[in-house]
Amino acid sequence: MTNKEKIVSFVKSTTFKRVTFFVGIILLIVTGLVAISPEPFLKFGYPGVFVMSAMGGTSLLLIPLASHFNIYLLAFAGASGMAINDSIAWIIGNSGKMIVKRPAKLKRIEHSIEKYGMIAIFFWSLIPFPYDIIGLVAGYAGLPYIRYVIPTFLGKFIRFILIGLGMLSFIY
């Protein structure tokens, strides 16, 4: 069994699904706790934001922290972690086998990635929606990793700055 086949097999396994579900629930609970009372999380600083971002979505996490941290460093930490998190989907897609079925919408995404490349990736990363599918398709379509991760990071960075500035303008 090749490494690519091992990755696909692992991602399809029940163990992977259970672990990711469990981790997702924990991250959701932690994000909710931070939203209610961010003070205990503040001691972890930017590295804490990075780690939480690398483990899962953090758009909601950044909102309560925006008034406690430098917004640009907060966005950098969050975007860096999210770029690492989103890279997992690219790796799985690049393994050569799609884990999900390819309906017409998926084929349209693949076509737009092939046509517009980094520009399409950048604009999709600005939008808060399940971005993993973009990583899967970009990897499957053979988009080089560097051409995937840079616009992913930049889009998340800009999105997090906008979220943070919006939150600050709401508070002050």
Range of the domain at 83: 3-171
pLDDT at 100: 55
| 8 Å CB contact between 113 and 89 | no
Give the list of residues 6+ apart from residue 99 with CB closer than 8 angstroms, or none. 8, 11, 12, 92, 136
- For the stretch 152-164, pLDDT in tens is 999 999 988 988 8
- What is the helix (H) or strand (E) element at residue 102, kind and residue range? none
pLDDT of 150 above 80: yes
Structure tokens belonging to residue 149: 């991760």
CA 90 to CA 140: how far, in whole Å? 8
Q: State the Cα–Cα distance between residues 30 and 24, nearest whole angstrom.
A: 10
Q: Quote the mean pLDDT of the chain.
A: 81
Split into its structural domains, the chain has a count of 1
- Residue 102 pLDDT > 70: no
Across the range 137-150, mean pLDDT stands at: 88
pLDDT digits (tens, 9 = 90+) for 50-100: 988 888 766 777 778 888 889 999 999 999 998 998 898 888 888 765 555
Dihedral-angle region of residue 114 (phi above 0 means left; psi in -120 to 50 means alpha; beta otherwise): alpha
- Helix (H, G, I), strand (E, B), or coil: what is residue 108? helix
pLDDT reported for residue 164: 83
